[in-house]
Amino acid sequence: MKSKKGVIEIQFNWIFVLIAGALILTFFIIVVQKQKQVADVKLIGAIKADLSTILIGSQVSRGTSSLVDIPAVDIYYDCEGYAITNLQAIDPGISFSPNLLKGYNLMMWSLDWNVPFRVDNFLFITSPGVRYIFIKRNSGDNTWDDFYESEDNPSFPPRTIIQDGEERILFNKDLMIVSEAKNYDFENENNYKIRFIFWDDNIIRNQRFSNLQDIPDETVTALYYEPDNSCSGEGFDCFGEVIFYEKGADASRKFKKWRDDDDKARSYYLGRTSLIAAVFAEDPEHYNCNMRRAFKKLAFIAQVYLDKVDDLYDYYKETNNDNCKLISSASTALHIIIDGAEDLSEDFPHAADLNDIEEIYGQILVLENINNRLQRLSCAEIY
Amino acid sequence: MKQKKSQIRMAETVAILFIFFLMIGFGFIFYAKIQRIQFQETRSKNVDLESIEVTQRVSFLPELQCSSKNVIKDNCIDVIKLNAVIEQLESDPDLKADLYFDLFKYSNITVIQLYPEEKRWTLYENIKEGASYAFTPVPISLYNSTTNKYSFGILEVYYYY
């Protein structure tokens, strides 16, 4: 009887130790797990706060490009802004990027969109892991010269920069002749996205890029730009069409229009900054949604300048300054810009939008002319 | 007698466990307090950064900046454009939410002319009742293109969080 009691007591002790031990172990496992979650949230929160500051800083410092080191987190981009995991996206304003940014650094570049007054700064963000290849027809083709790298006009940032004494890739761009691109070994270059930029649609329609066959379809895209017939030269500073292409999945290995849909693949540019924006935009949806925001801002700013023109005209009328009264002629141009921009901010891009864009472009030239004349007459300038 | 002994041993074990959990509890409370202080410090740093972001955005608004032949003058606000913007925002209240809420969130942005005479323009007002705020003043010049004269002023940004 006694020994039976002892056995029960020993068994009870073991059960007690087991339960208490399991409880303590569970407690610590829960604490460690919670701590890990808190540490992750804190890290992502800190990255988000720093990224937000960097984005806003880059957005306001127009014309400058920089390479920013970031922790190795994937940053997703859509029309809402830049997001890390499921945290709320950071919206730095009008911005163009691939839909996924990865790697240890980002190239940030902002350019002002002038039509003809500054409407906003467009922010361009990409990773050195994304490759941009500008295709030339042959070695004598100098179409891209003023766009690829130029000291006189806004053009793409240099390929490399010297930072902390070492050469680093800032903007992973290349200028290639079509025959060179067809034989280039893209597969072994470790780029997670490749964007081709064409000015000759014959190349896109007729050339086969069979060397791209082992690269996943969704990572290879192309952009074709075509200035309007009324534009002179290369038409970078004018207006026209941009058409987005993607790698064809069929055996032909030619590029096909985005989603195989001519309407969805087609959009428009107005001025060099918006053409550059199309180069950085992942697809027409991303490009169009940001351009709608840009046109909305244009309508608002044009209205502000219209009020300024009216105020200045009233002042010149009161002071009998006949020379400067010509400022009133800017009103009509601004009204046309406001109407066109309001249309474009709602349903851009529509086939009819090219007319609105053409009208706006015409009025840009009119305003530039009036502003120059006002300056020569020592009157207050519009912008 | 033996039963009493085991009862005492059991009570000892329970007491040790109780003290053990009590100590873990104290440690946890202490740790949580430190975490809270660190969180508040980070939050305060983030609020300062957000406030500076809003100030940067206002300072670089193309609809306010002075320019000549599209060359921007930093830290300068064109008074005629400022009046036009305020008029636009007053005539269409949706515009304020559409264009500015994402940029300025809950803030109060005022432009004050200090010299030669005092004047005040409220550009954006979206106050969060009962919330704390961070204040950032920025010295600016104000340009009147009709008189071609500059005056001195300050841009005040109250950022609510």
Asked if B80 lies within 8 A of A307 by C-beta distance, the reply is yes
Measured between CB atoms, does A116 come within 8 Å of chain B? yes
Residues of B with CB under 8 A from a CB of A: 6, 13, 17, 20, 24, 28, 35, 42, 45-46, 49-50, 52-53, 56-57, 59-60, 62-63, 65, 67-70, 72, 78, 80-81, 83-85, 87-88, 95, 98-99, 102-103, 145-146, 148
Asked if B6 lies within 8 A of A45 by C-beta distance, the reply is no
Measured between CB atoms, does A93 come within 8 Å of chain B? yes
Asked if residues A146 and A236 have their Cβ atoms less than 8 Å apart, the reply is yes
Task: Name which of B17, B42, B70 is nearest A117 (Cβ-Cβ).
Answer: B70
What pLDDT shows up at residue B2? 66
Which of B88, B89, B95 to substitute to test the interface with A, most A CBs within 10 Å? B88
- Closest B-chain CA to A306: B84
Asked if A9 lies within 8 A of B145 by C-beta distance, the reply is no
Listed residue (A297, A99, A79) closest to B61, CA to CA: A297
What pLDDT shows up at residue A2? 55
Task: Name which of A27, A53, A308 is nearest B53 (Cβ-Cβ).
Answer: A53
Q: Per residue of chain A (383 residues), what is the pLDDT tens digit?
A: 556 666 676 777 788 889 888 988 998 899 899 888 888 888 888 888 888 888 888 888 888 899 999 888 899 999 999 998 777 888 999 999 999 999 999 999 999 999 999 999 999 999 999 999 999 988 899 899 889 988 888 899 999 999 889 999 999 999 999 888 888 888 878 899 999 999 988 888 777 887 888 888 889 999 999 999 999 888 999 999 999 999 887 666 788 899 999 999 999 999 999 999 999 999 999 999 999 999 999 999 999 999 999 999 999 999 999 999 999 999 999 999 999 999 999 989 986 778 999 999 999 999 999 999 999 999 999 99
Task: Name which of A52, A112, A296 is nearest B53 (Cβ-Cβ).
Answer: A52
Asked if A304 lies within 8 A of B69 by C-beta distance, the reply is no
Task: Name which of A60, A120, A308 is nearest B81 (Cβ-Cβ).
Answer: A308
Rounded CA-CA distance A127/A102 in Å is 7
Interface predicted TM-score of the whole assembly (ipTM), two decimals: 0.86
pTM for the structure as a whole: 0.88
pLDDT in tens, B33-84: 998 998 899 889 889 999 999 999 999 999 999 999 889 999 999 999 999 9
Measured between CB atoms, does A12 come within 8 Å of chain B? no
Asked if A31 lies within 8 A of B28 by C-beta distance, the reply is yes
Rounded CA-CA distance B130/B127 in Å is 9
Rounded CA-CA distance A104/A248 in Å is 31
Rounded CA-CA distance A147/A224 in Å is 14
Measured between CB atoms, does A6 come within 8 Å of chain B? no
**Structure-derived torsion over alpha carbons of residues A349, A354, A360, A361, reported in degrees to the nearest 10:** 120
Asked if residues A110 and A62 have their Cβ atoms less than 8 Å apart, the reply is yes
**Sign, CA torsion A6/A10/A12/A13:** positive
CA distance A57 to chain B (A): 8
What pLDDT shows up at residue A9? 67
Cα three-residue angle A348-A352-A356, rounded to 5 degrees: 75
Contacts of B85 in chain A (CB under 8 A): 304
CA distance A351 to chain B (A): 26
Q: For chain B, which residues make up each domain, given as ranges?
A: 3-160
Contacts of A31 in chain B (CB under 8 A): 28
Asked if A311 lies within 8 A of B69 by C-beta distance, the reply is no
- Closest A-chain CA to B61: A120
Pair of tokens at residue A190: 């470790």
Pair of tokens at residue B109: 């942005």
DSSP 8-state symbol, A271: S
Residue B98 pLDDT class (50, 70, 90 cuts): confident
For residue B121, is it left (φ>0), alpha (ψ between -120 and 50) or beta?
Answer: beta
Asked if A380 lies within 8 A of B68 by C-beta distance, the reply is no
